[in-house]
Structure 1
């Protein structure tokens, strides 16, 4: 019996994913998580074969969760679900150790195939997704004048935008307060902004948090 972990902060999405997973006779849902921190804890506790993780989650987004699972539980394959068609997200996901990537709109049609491929330790990306990402890359590669934020900096931005203090962020990400302050300053410098309000607007624009 193969164990599948589902992580999404919307109950209706989790219910839909559970129904698809449980339609397969040899699969069982090992657990459900509603935020990034809980997802990592459940992955270590239940040892799933595949973790289906929403890109946009509270506390830790899907990329940070994927990075931690890849480090702490490398036998668990990760499938990122997202509604955002963004070449940067896929690039960052691959760097975080993700080997499966699927739009939420395609889940009903492709989820079983994606899980089957990942259970065989093969990557899964739909051809339509790859075509779009290639097109986006070709369109944008000449226009990237600013350095992208690192995965860690994105996590700090998300947590700041969610209202966490530097001390709270240091606890969640297992960093010192000084390191959090350094990341925050680096983000401000890279983005050319000077206030928390501007940082929140950036997080919303980049889909790091919901508006």
Structure 2
């Protein structure tokens, strides 16, 4: 039997935490192992419970979720972080990515989208709600500056990738794991890893969030023959 996805919910409003718990635990295979009302509690509970996913609010009294994210990543590196916020401010989204978050979801998102986002980041992918994704578009930085992705207007064209590399890139952007991409394409897991390393090298992008942003920037991976 597959182990459940273990989630830590961090939000300073108890009613919001209760709502998130209700939404997530209505999904088979997902369980909320702990709730935190601030960043300090989240850090302690992350160390104690080692959750698979941390659903983290941006705006909290004391330390914000954006400032807490790097410390959570350091304390519980196996945990994936999904930011939830009422703000679709582009700088918040970019800061979340830089802080190590694998996704950014608005609080007015549908319950089904929250469940989908948790599953996507748990599987090793990323998930950005549409307004958050738009906040990333055209905001890349150079691969050599310690962050991720090319400058606006200098992104390598999709045509530098082989057809199979585009297939793998499309799978990554959809939030699929290497294993799922391999099964879908009928190739080995190792072959997927090889294509993934090659396309990252060609594009100068080192993270899943950066690859997802690149696909949005170029309007998809397909080109007419």
Taking structure 2 as the reference length, the TM-score comes to: 0.57
Structure 1 residue 136: Cα displacement: 8.9
**What residue is the counterpart of 1:74 in the other structure?**
77
Among candidates 36, 58, 62, match of residue 61 of structure 2: 58
How many residues of Structure 1 are paired with residues of Structure 2 in the alignment?
138
CA RMSD of aligned residues (A): 1.9
Any stretches of 5+ residues in structure 1 without a counterpart? 139-211
**What residue is the counterpart of 1:187 in the other structure?**
none
**What residue is the counterpart of 2:111 in the other structure?**
108
**What residue is the counterpart of 1:176 in the other structure?**
none
Structure 1 residue 113: Cα displacement: 0.5
**What residue is the counterpart of 2:14 in the other structure?**
11
CA contact (8 A) 2:25 2:31 kept: yes
What SS does the aligned partner of 1:12 have? helix
Given the alignment of the two structures, is residue 29 of structure 1 paired with residue 5 of structure 2, yes or no? no
Give the distance between the partners of 2:121 and 2:85, measured in 1 at CA: 17
Taking structure 1 as the reference length, the TM-score comes to: 0.61
Structure 1 residue 71: Cα displacement: 1.4
Larger helix proportion, structure 1 or 2?
1
Any stretches of 5+ residues in structure 2 without a counterpart? 141-151, 153-225
Question: 1:138-153 counterparts in 2 under 5 A?
Answer: none
